[in-house]
Structure 1
């Protein structure tokens, strides 16, 4: 059984490979194209973007309240390029990293557990393919710790995600099969793991993860819907390298957040945290300039990549968010059903097992081994 789980971002960029303007929405045609390629089910990774927010917001609240003994600020963990950067160059700051897996990896684990159980499918017969805007997702899927579905079933050699293709690679596959995306009717994602909110849609823009998390964290703390300002958190939007905002949350006080994209900007924030000069509670990091919309696997509509193309893609995400009936991740009915029928609640024992992970100090890769006595060192 072939299962395909696209990140919603190819739905805003895949059309560029077929002559459409950057930011053109083609997710429905993308589903139809994948069915023609032979995939049995097509899910939306934005479903687990909402799930990531549920887990990440809960973790943030626990850190702020001192319920878990982990330092602030909490770092986001959904950009695998950023995670690997931190593992190599700032391993001393890894305790700040959220333990939440990325949406890709959460969905991979759920397809082979929750979906397989619900549909009475042998998980070993599932081959899960993820289409992503990001080349670093290939490394992420191959990490040995990303095999929690195998641990759940006590199966060896079962990765949560079996293969990752980029947006450009998918376009090449479609063209090879003479499938013209622009001529296909729209089809819906398959149910159970297919619904998403506006909070999930903006995940792909720099500042989007932060904005979505703040919306839901506010609701979790106050049990009230967030004010209009949190549905349009403009200070964290745009292409400025480092952005900051302060959010007033009743019962907690001022929550200070920061957003940075591109690792040159990331270093500024990391050095401040390392020196103890950080005023923030929560920091979003994106490896790619502009966020996932500009991932290394996206169409090359401008060479070198231009801010004009980035902004067209980003603006389309915010436009879609503003038109959604559900704009907050905690409103997603399929996510709530998942908790009710399977996970119980955010950061439950099972949620920790399937949706959370750990990190590795990779800085040793840059340390030169000592030369043996009587031998010359080789540089």
Structure 2
């Protein structure tokens, strides 16, 4: 099956199984977090799109290359790069810069941030590092958590449910919507870094680039196939606020116009005869290439929580954490947790915060959710990432058929 050219509008049916190639080996079923793969062992399987969260884990773990994406924005992006009246903004996720190099013969896991900036600049992209938006996410999601925590301590149960869930992973958000809709009030109201980046690029970014929003085409480069579905959702179409503010009438715009996976970005560069391995390094072309270490660690399991705890500690106590590394939420254990007691200067008392981190969602998240449903959970904040190891092992990353694993190299 050939991937269709990307068209605006909500994407459905992103992942498909090619019956002619499928051997019915059931490998895909083992990696699907929602039981969306149907079919008897030994017979060709199919995807139930009502259950599928678009994570692509079945695809990258199929030993017969029988599973593929049905939507690609590659052709559209190339056309936009050639359009002199369009500014194409490339939004680069943290996990991409440690994976894309292997598509050009560089060692696995080598950090190629500046080379990637340089190659994309050569292709015609403006550089918007998604780490910049991840820093915004921490401020928004962290502030929301503090608000909910204070309200809970003071007995106001209507200010937001606890535990608060992170909202960065679109596969996790879709999972919660379809399987545990009663827990949606626990989900952070903050957009993911991808969606924040798209919004900023078309509002404040319009001033930075000195262009009208309708001349800006945002392209996120993600390690995740589910980000394509997220970007296409109709609620992420709010750049109209710029026009309202400036007294101009225009149609609304999607925050993120197109999503390329890590694999597709390497394809794009090769089609344009740009070799990442030999590309000149580039520092970026605006403040959108500036970011902190907190944004950088979003790509690995526990990174969002560690960054959030650092921020909460600073806001609540007025002081930085003595040790920035929150070791208990690092590593590859399926469920990790930590307990932090600190003096909250705003409440004038000690507050104990208990947090949890979950990855490889299909194998680990249900017991925590069932505890919350039963009212027996004592967690205040929970990070959930669908993929094992986090975004570094996303469905859009280079596919390794050697038998080794990205997760084993984190």
TM range (shorter): 0.7 to 0.9
Q: Does the aligned pair in 1 maintain the 2:95–2:299 contact within 8 Å?
A: yes
Greater relative contact order structure (CA < 8 Å, 6+ sep): 1
Partner of 2:177: 87
Deviation at 1:156, TM superposition (A): 2.4
Partner of 1:17: 103
Partner of 1:146: 236
Q: Secondary structure at the match of 2:389?
A: coil
Deviates more, 1:190-199 or 1:288-297: 190-199
Q: Does the aligned pair in 1 maintain the 2:354–2:380 contact within 8 Å?
A: yes
- 2:403 and 2:140 map into 1 onto residues whose CA distance is 36
- 1:49 and 1:72 map into 2 onto residues whose CA distance is 22
Matches within 5 A, 1:7-46: 7-39=93-125, 41-46=126-131
Unmatched runs of 5 consecutive residues or more in structure 1: 315-379
TM normalised by structure 2 equals 0.73
Q: Does the aligned pair in 1 maintain the 2:223–2:262 contact within 8 Å?
A: yes
Partner of 1:165: 260
Tell me, yes or no, if structure 1 residue 253 matches structure 2 residue 351. Answer: yes
Partner of 2:160: 70
- 1:106 and 1:22 map into 2 onto residues whose CA distance is 29
TM normalised by structure 1 equals 0.78
Tell me, yes or no, if structure 1 residue 300 matches structure 2 residue 399. Answer: yes
Deviation at 1:192, TM superposition (A): 2.1
Partner of 2:293: 198
Unmatched runs of 5 consecutive residues or more in structure 2: 1-86, 245-249, 345-349
Q: For residues 110-132 of structure 1, what are the alpha-carbon distances to aligned partners after superposition, in whole Å with 9 as ceiling and x for unaligned?
A: 01101113443111111111100
**Larger fraction in strand:** 2
Deviation at 1:99, TM superposition (A): 0.4
The number of equivalent residue pairs is: 308
- 1:268 and 1:152 map into 2 onto residues whose CA distance is 43
1:249–1:305: structure 2 CA closer, same or farther, 3 Å change rule?
farther
1:303–1:72: structure 2 CA closer, same or farther, 3 Å change rule?
farther
- 2:189 and 2:404 map into 1 onto residues whose CA distance is 31
- 1:180 and 1:118 map into 2 onto residues whose CA distance is 29
1:186–1:311: structure 2 CA closer, same or farther, 3 Å change rule?
farther
Deviation at 1:184, TM superposition (A): 1.2
Of residues 135, 142, 145 in structure 1, which corresponds to 2:225?
Answer: 135
Matches within 5 A, 1:362-377: none
Question: What is the root-mean-square deviation of aligned Cα atoms in Å?
Answer: 1.5
Deviation at 1:310, TM superposition (A): 2.0
Deviation at 1:249, TM superposition (A): 1.6
Deviation at 1:225, TM superposition (A): 1.1
Q: Does the aligned pair in 1 maintain the 2:238–2:252 contact within 8 Å?
A: no
Partner of 1:4: 90
**Larger fraction in helix:** 1
Q: Does the aligned pair in 2 maintain the 1:211–1:233 contact within 8 Å?
A: yes
Matches within 5 A, 1:228-243: 228=323, 231-243=324-336
Q: Secondary structure at the match of 2:333?
A: coil
Partner of 2:366: 267
Deviates more, 1:152-161 or 1:185-194: 152-161
Q: Does the aligned pair in 2 maintain the 1:150–1:159 contact within 8 Å?
A: no
After TM superposition, where is structure 1 displaced by more than 4 Å over at least 4 residues in a row? 302-305
Q: Secondary structure at the match of 1:224?
A: coil
- 1:23 and 1:29 map into 2 onto residues whose CA distance is 14
1:77–1:141: structure 2 CA closer, same or farther, 3 Å change rule?
same
1:278–1:302: structure 2 CA closer, same or farther, 3 Å change rule?
farther
1:302–1:221: structure 2 CA closer, same or farther, 3 Å change rule?
farther
Deviation at 1:103, TM superposition (A): 0.5
Q: Secondary structure at the match of 2:224?
A: coil
- 2:255 and 2:298 map into 1 onto residues whose CA distance is 21
Partner of 2:145: 60
Deviation at 1:304, TM superposition (A): 5.9
Deviation at 1:303, TM superposition (A): 5.6
Q: For residues 305-346 of structure 1, what are the alpha-carbon distances to aligned partners after superposition, in whole Å with 9 as ceiling and x for unaligned?
A: 62xx2243x4xxxxxxxxxxxxxxxxxxxxxxxxxxxxxxxx
